Structure 1
């Protein structure tokens, strides 16, 4: 039977993570409509080992859980896999309660602990592939740089074949009663939020992520995965491994996202015509997104997910519509490689949107469709036919890529 606040994973490992339903934006950027979990784990034995911490705003519940398991026993070690404050900012509170605890980290973590928390003492520095004996428990450490910070690492307990994976294999969303993958309906909710998490947080480091994932998958026999966000994987860890490998490889689906920027509705009508053309061309999975009202978190996720990405923008001061200009800069950072791109623009007098969309595509060396409508004012019947042609061309290109 579970304790009041904690959940046993095995006979010497406890889940003591917390849910955050108050924070609205992860990293002050990414929407959290259903919150996020900060996962932490306590390994007991001859020595008591805390693996990762939580964000400071949840520290009171976290301390309750920690002390529920420990009672009057000491905390001997804290393992810091990743020093980002959502996993480390409670550390000073824990040090106030357990001042003699030793901190296990790697060389690159030392600067973060010093700069964030003025911590320099009681550090145990581990290297890639090193096995550390902590009482009657053993952990082997593997460096995973830039997944997604330079000091990121994971650890592995051979005895139980458990991987403590830090942000790798994580996802958005609180854990509402169910902690393990076999206790919740992953595909009905967590799948999309895991995809969005990966693309928003790790996507720009996809190459490094894929390298680390291949390293872990080929080196270790993994039976349980304990990430710092999202569910604990005990029944089917291969499912989240396969998902992350697919995301890191940017395996796209046969669909199209059309992202438009429109001040007075004319460019929106153009986007609708393009969407109709896509469907007419044989692709049913189509999303039309307003760049002004859709958080760029979801725009990035859609562009990573779908084979076809079509951008349409009105002109604004001889340039792109500002929200469209922002999302194109974000696309540059993502370094996406498996998409087919389409563009269209509108203007009232001097233009600017299409010129800058072309420059964006050229800078990124994207494959761009030949049909590129540029429309003055509101679209007439001839313009609408050209817009539908763009959609049909996108559908044709996607279907041809399958062959």
Structure 2
């Protein structure tokens, strides 16, 4: 029999706690029984849904300079329409049901609660693979790749999938201490895979997951089969001025990537600087205003999904709003920003990884192979002229194919 309780970190989100040894596991004991893996179900209350709609209906909209489009941020007219859709027509409960159709669990590692999906393939001998989301992503990023990877209809390789919400993100909730950079998070995931009984496993990650994934390969090299990344940045592109010797030998594609990097640094990195230096100040707006949280995330979807057509032509609107909803309902807009602060202030620097690494470089991603090889053992590199930063949402078939091809060569 299960006992319904509430997480002390995210009190609004109920989860299911099984009874142990004839008594209920108390909230205070969760951190004591460090090895416990507890079943979890997402359940956003009607009160939370009403609160979201009410807050959106009472949004005080800012004045803007007309005719500027997206050049200065999210256009007010666009966000008004999107906020109205979120409040009146978006069906969160359908996405909650879809998420709850997969087995989910929570456990405590290094003092932090870790939420994760654990989908076991029906195929014998499937390769375990941990999949790591980025910011402003969530476990919902991977919904369209779960079935193709875990239970492919053809003879393609099959995977057992472990998909965690990072500490400070989503259903893992805020941590109670600082220091959760990519290396500490990687150590927690190495422990998670040990608890699940996997002696060898694959790693895949995008965006911040492309930070954590290679670090997981570095600290758990004897157990990691290989690391596949997309939306790769840190450790996969140059930092600072390109040496003159390199400049003379750059290919046309590398020059295009350097142009993208320069444009990002001069006109697209304001969010990074704010989250990396003053996440608490930003947090007041993200925690109190769903329209503010919506704008903060949607601007990144617009900037990072390409430039062809309207945003909704590049990524499904409801899928994007489901992702934003997780940040809102779990109140992790501010805590997830801590990732940038920890990254900028971490005393730890990556060393060269000996683990085989594959890169799927989708359109608009700035990774450059010659610089990626300085810290990573690159054995596969695929350039795509389509897709974008949120590959699992935008071009799931291409991402799945590249993951399969990379790990097939490592079996």
**Interval containing the TM-score (normalised by the shorter chain):** under 0.3
The structure that has the greater radius of gyration is 1
- TM-score norm. by structure 1 comes to 0.25
Taking CA–CA contacts closer than 8 Å with sequence separation of 6 or more, which of the two structures ends up with the larger relative contact order?
2
Q: Which has the higher strand share?
A: 1
- TM-score norm. by structure 2 comes to 0.24
Q: Which has the higher helix share?
A: 2
